[in-house]
Amino acid sequence: MSEVLGAIGAWVVPGLVVFGTAAALSTLAIWALRRRRRSPRARAAAEQERTATGSALVRLDDMIEELDLDVDLSGALYDGTAPAALRRARMTAHHVRDDAFAEFRDLGADTHPDDVRRVSRSIRTRTDVAIASIERARSEHDEWMRSHVTAASQIAAARDRCRRLRAELADPAALLAELAARWDRTEWAEAERDAATAVSALAQAERLIDEAATRASDPTRSTLPILAEAERAVREASSAARRVEERHRLITDAAGAVDGEIASARAALRHALTAREGLETAESERLGAELRNVEAEMSGLEARAHRAPAATVDGLACLRDRIDLALGDARTAAQRLRGARTALPGTLATARDAISRAQPRAARAGADARVRLAAAHRDLAAARGADNPVDALDAARRALRNAEDAVALADYDVLTKD
């Protein structure tokens, strides 16, 4: 019997040693591979992929803006008779960009480098296809124009469009004068810059149209590039004038609502102080310290509320957010619903204001700022469409945070470029 066991051992033990060693080496190899894939070098390579993808997305976003301009110009000059290729390319490119923005935003610091590379390459592939589609559509459109449109008709239509837009735009100077007469300069400083932009951009558009008219006498020179620049200047003037109008409306609305917003914020503070009484000692002390800070800041806002109503409403919205975060789960569902109903109007106004301020900055920034701005637009739309006030308030606050992040990222891009 002992001889049989000895024979078995002679065969089994070496096998166990071999297989055990192989298993250990395999485990070690897998561990080393995973570690290498998460190493600083792997993360740096993944970040390079992400950066390249961000550059491609910025290029696509800029091309979509140019394409929007081409479509508008085509519709204005040729009364919708131009080929539909531009409109189809724009629709496709918008879908590609919006989906890519959402995927790009999810590539955070905790994403595995392999996933970063895979998603980045997928985004770039789709982006390249969309860019090629835009280029083909623009080429087709240019060929159609050379065959069907004269320079004189282009210039006449552009001049008429410029005149109509000048008549449609509100007078930025008049709106600015009203703002300056009633409120602190901090309220309307950006509107002042936008008003100057609107005036200079519209004047530039008119100069460019005159230049195109001068060139039209030379059949070898195309007027389309100059007319496109003129359309771009008209768009810039229109956008800047709309921002002045939006700022005027926001400040005026805030002035009418600021007393109610203060009363609502004070009521929320009182509810929080009442809820504090039912908490454990340590939690009650923590909440009490935060509420004292909130009350001090609220008093500071009240002191200048009627000279800076928009800033006051913005500040109160942030303080309401802090109160809700400090309370956590201490409120009942009814209290949350009631609080959301009163906080929602001010938070929506603040989010709209933040998005308006972020828009021109993000347009000159990289992919991260543009992605945040796109998310802010989606969240604001979700807030407006939500049936439940709590859900709407959460979405409005996300929109506000994303817009603020977009501004910060855009400002960072400016600093790093300089």
- Using one digit for the tens of pLDDT, what is the confidence trace for 328-342? 766 667 777 888 888
Q: Is residue 4 part of a domain?
A: no
pLDDT at residue 32, as a whole number: 47
- DSSP-derived secondary structure for 208-266: HHHHHHHHTT-TTS-SHHHHHHHHHHHHHHHHHHHHHHHHHHHHHHHHHHHHHHHHHHH
Contact 198, 244 (CB under 8 A): yes
Q: How far is CA 263 from the centre of its chain?
A: 32
Rounded to an integer, the average pLDDT of 121-133 is 92
Residues 271 and 411 in one domain: yes
What is the number of H-type helices and E-type strands within the chain? 13, 0
Tokens 């009631």 locate to 338
pLDDT at residue 294, as a whole number: 93
pLDDT digits (tens, 9 = 90+) for 215-260: 777 666 667 778 878 888 888 888 888 888 889 999 999 999 999 9
Q: Is residue 30 part of a domain?
A: no
Residues 339 and 409 in one domain: yes
Residues 6+ away with beta carbon under 8 Å from 6: none
Helix/strand/coil percent split, the chain, to 5: 90, 0, 10
Q: Is residue 334 part of a domain?
A: yes
pLDDT digits (tens, 9 = 90+) for 34-61: 555 556 777 788 888 888 888 899 999 9
Q: Is residue 339 part of a domain?
A: yes
Residues 380 and 409 in one domain: yes
Residues 203 and 341 in one domain: no
Residues 263 and 388 in one domain: yes
Per-residue tokens: 410:
């855009």
pLDDT digits (tens, 9 = 90+) for 339-376: 888 889 999 999 998 998 898 888 888 999 999 999 99
Mean residue pLDDT across the chain: 82
pLDDT at residue 3, as a whole number: 56
Rounded to an integer, the average pLDDT of 24-32 is 53
Amino acid of residue 87: R
Residues 192 and 287 in one domain: no
Question: Exposed, middle or buried: residue 369 (CB in 10 Å: 0-12, 13-18, 19+)?
Answer: buried
Q: How many domains, in total, are found in the chain?
A: 3
Pure H helices in 106-184: 113-148, 151-168, 172-182
Residue that terminates a domain, selected from 99, 114, 148:
148
Residue that terminates a domain, selected from 190, 212, 242:
242
Rounded to an integer, the average pLDDT of 393-401 is 93
Name the range with the highest mean pLDDT among 84-98, 268-282, 298-312. 298-312
Residues 328 and 408 in one domain: yes
Per-residue tokens: 207:
């100069």
- Least reliable range by pLDDT among 19-33, 49-63, 148-162, 275-289: 19-33
**Which of 61, 227, 36 has the alpha carbon at shortest distance from 114?**
36
Q: Could you tell me the residue range of the domain that residue 199 belongs to?
A: 152-242
Give the span between the Cα atoms of 94 and 181, in whole angstroms. Answer: 42
Residue that terminates a domain, selected from 116, 148, 180:
148
What whole-number percentage of the chain has pLDDT above 90? Answer: 31
